[in-house]
């Protein structure tokens, strides 16, 4: 699916004439020849993200514009997985976990050092693509399937459903063989789930080979626990 290259902390996933859907900065649908995952330094405080992304891409000598994600995970921990028409690339770090207790114990939202929260400290970024052609709705379904697989894998491996800065990009080839659906019960969706699961696990094993995974939000350097209750209603 992708022709990947890493230079100066920038991962380029190149593929001509590709349709992308990003949940990250300046996201949405786009047509481009590449997408990026960019590792930012500790203490990252830039807010002019479009300019920053362009600077990093140019510095790394990548001349193809495209959607980009930011991560605090060093790209040496990036891992990919392939099955059939599907490929996924992941960077996984959980130093800023976002816990969601099913039975909240109090009515306050606990935030650990929220002023420092940002992409420099963790993030699980997923880029998943298929060589099939998908319409906008099915590409959105592929993104949701990837997020579901990431969440299930993180819960099993770390106890957290995600971090405060996770983002996902889904991609397809508009000129490929058309596929009507991409849900979990389809070949594309099933392959995407397996690829995301395996790539998340592999990236976590690399990142935490010599350090422990945080056991709780309190044990992590940054993070959030959503403890609030809501008022439910019958529509």
Cβ atoms 206, 77 nearer than 8 A: yes
**Residue burial 63-83, b: 16+ Cβ < 10 Å; e: rest:** eeebbbbbbbbebebbbbbbb
pLDDT classification of 221: cutoffs 50, 70, 90: confident
pLDDT at position 121 is: 62
Confidence band (pLDDT; 50, 70, 90) for 118? very low
> Starting from the edge strand earliest in sequence, which strands make up the sheet with 110-112, in order?
98-99, 223-225, 110-112
The yes-or-no verdict on residue 116 having pLDDT over 50 is no
pLDDT beyond 50 at 120: no
Q: Are 94 and 154 in contact (CB under 8 A)?
A: yes
| Arithmetic mean of pLDDT, 211-226 | 91
56-99 pLDDT per residue, tens: 999 999 999 999 999 999 999 999 999 999 999 999 999 999 99
pLDDT at 128: 98
Mean per-residue pLDDT of the chain: 93
Query: What's the mean pLDDT in 113-141?
Result: 81
pLDDT for position 43:
84
Render pLDDT for 151-181 as a digit per residue (tens, 0 to 9).
999 999 999 999 999 999 999 999 999 999 9
For residue 42, pLDDT beyond 90: no
Residue-wise pLDDT for 97-110, tens only, equals: 999 999 887 655 55
């Amino acid at each position: 699916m992708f022709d990947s290259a890493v230079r100066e902390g920038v991962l380029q996933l190149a593929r001509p004439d590709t349709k992308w859907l990003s949940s990250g900065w300046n996201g949405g649908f786009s047509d481009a020849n590449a997408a990026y995952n960019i590792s930012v330094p500790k203490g990252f405080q830039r807010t002019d993200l479009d300019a920053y992304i362009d600077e990093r891409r140019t510095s790394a000598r990548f001349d193809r514009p495209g959607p980009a994600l930011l991560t605090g995970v060093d790209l040496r921990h990036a891992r990919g997985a392939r099955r059939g028409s599907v490929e996924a690339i992941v960077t996984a770090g959980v130093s800023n976990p976002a816990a969601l207790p099913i039975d909240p114990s109090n009515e306050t939202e606990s935030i650990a050092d929220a002023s420092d929260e940002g992409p420099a400290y963790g993030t699980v970024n997923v880029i998943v693509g298929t060589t099939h052609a998908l319409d906008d709705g099915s590409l959105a379904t592929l993104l949701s399937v990837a997020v579901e697989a990431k969440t299930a894998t993180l819960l099993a491996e770390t106890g957290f459903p995600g971090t405060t800065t996770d983002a996902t990009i889904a991609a397809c080839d508009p000129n490929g063989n058309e596929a009507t659906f991409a849900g979990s019960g389809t070949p594309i969706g099933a392959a995407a789930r397996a690829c995301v699961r395996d790539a998340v696990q592999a990236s976590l094993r690399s990142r935490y080979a010599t350090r422990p995974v945080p056991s709780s939000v309190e044990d992590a350097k940054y993070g959030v626990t959503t403890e609030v209750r809501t008022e439910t209603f019958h529509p």
